[in-house]
Structures are given as structure tokens and as C-alpha cells.
Amino acid sequence: MLKLFLPNEQVKSILEIEPERLKQKGIKAVITDLDNTLVAWDRPDATPELLSWFNKMSDAGIKVLIVSNNNQKRVSSFSTPLDLPYIFEARKPMGRAFRKAIKLLNVQKHEAVVIGDQLLTDVFGGNRSGIYTILVIPIAATDGFWTRINRKIERRLMNFFRRKGMIQWEERQ
């Protein structure tokens, strides 16, 4: 059961994820979280570096879709100017949003990757859905109310995985 909370990979930032490496793994689509994965949870727009990352994915033929537990206004205001498809109020880690994302992207599970900053929502949901998972260090050191609760549980899991040598993790400085 605990293995469902363990990501397949971990990176410091989504910007470290290169399209060439994803393509070598047969990945054709990225299902990504929004808040504290792409931008800080309280930042309304994409950074220039993130825009460049989206362009690299697009140029490589890798589709990107945002799956967020946040409300429609937040997710739409970020995604629409970028012409990115999205799913809001996803209720991660429940599988429904991940199944819908796979269908919208028109790929098989083994052709997608879930990227996010939380073990309890992104990694657990992606793993339960049979999709490759990549955990990123949260962009901001602060979180919204519900995420702060998740982080307390998450820290215990991280410490356990670290002690067992199953994960290397850094807190955002």
C-alpha cells in the first residue's frame, strides 16, 4: 500500500523534465498539477521559463493537460490564455479525473505521465490509475489551507521513505 505513495521519479522542478527524455520512455502526454507544480499557488500567470517549457513540449509533440483540485475560475484563468486543456475540481487522488485526462489526450496510460508536488493527490492518484508519476519540489513554501493538512501527513511519509533509502527529497528553500 505504501508503494502507491512512492513516485517513479523525483525532480526539483518541472523545468528539469525534458521532452526528449519523455519521448525515450514512450511518453506522448503530460498530466500536470497546477498550484505549486507549474507556478506558486497564489501566482495567476505562467512565468517566461514555464512558457518556454510548454513550447518545448509542444514542439516535441507532447500534449499537456492540467488537472487541478482547484476551482474553475483559478484553473481556467491560468490555462485558457495558454490554450491548454484542463480539468478543474478534479478530486484527486480519485481516479475519475485521471481517466478523463487519458481520454481527452487520446493516449494510453503507458503513454502518459502525471507530474505534481503532492504525494497524497498527484502521486497516489497517478499510481492508483496506473500512470507513471514524477514528483516535483513545491514551488512555494506556503500552501492553501487543505494542502497544509496534506503536507503534515506527507512529511511523515517522506521521512519514512527517506529512512528506507527509497527517496531523496529536498524542501523548498
Count the neighbouring beta carbons within 10 Å of the beta carbon of residue 66: 25
CB contact at 8 A, 5 and 124: yes
- Distance in angstroms (rounded) separating the CA atoms of residues 27 and 6: 20
- DSSP-derived letter for residue 166 is S
- Specify whether the CB–CB gap between 2 and 160 falls below 8 A: yes
CA distance 67 to 144: 17
Instruction: Give yes or no for a contact between 131 and 109, defined as CB atoms under 8 angstroms apart.
Output: yes
pLDDT in tens, 36-91: 999 998 888 999 999 999 999 999 999 999 999 999 999 999 999 999 999 999 99
Which CATH code for domain 2-163? 3.40.50.1000
Q: What are phi and psi of 39, to 5 degrees?
A: -145, 165
Other Cβ atoms closer than 10 A to 141? 10
Average pLDDT (157-172) is 77
Residue 137 near residue 51, CB atoms below 8 Å? no
Alpha-carbon distance of 66 to 75, in angstroms, equals 8
Write out pLDDT tens, residues 79-136: 999 999 999 999 999 999 999 999 999 999 999 999 999 999 999 999 999 999 999 9
pLDDT at 61 (0 to 100): 98
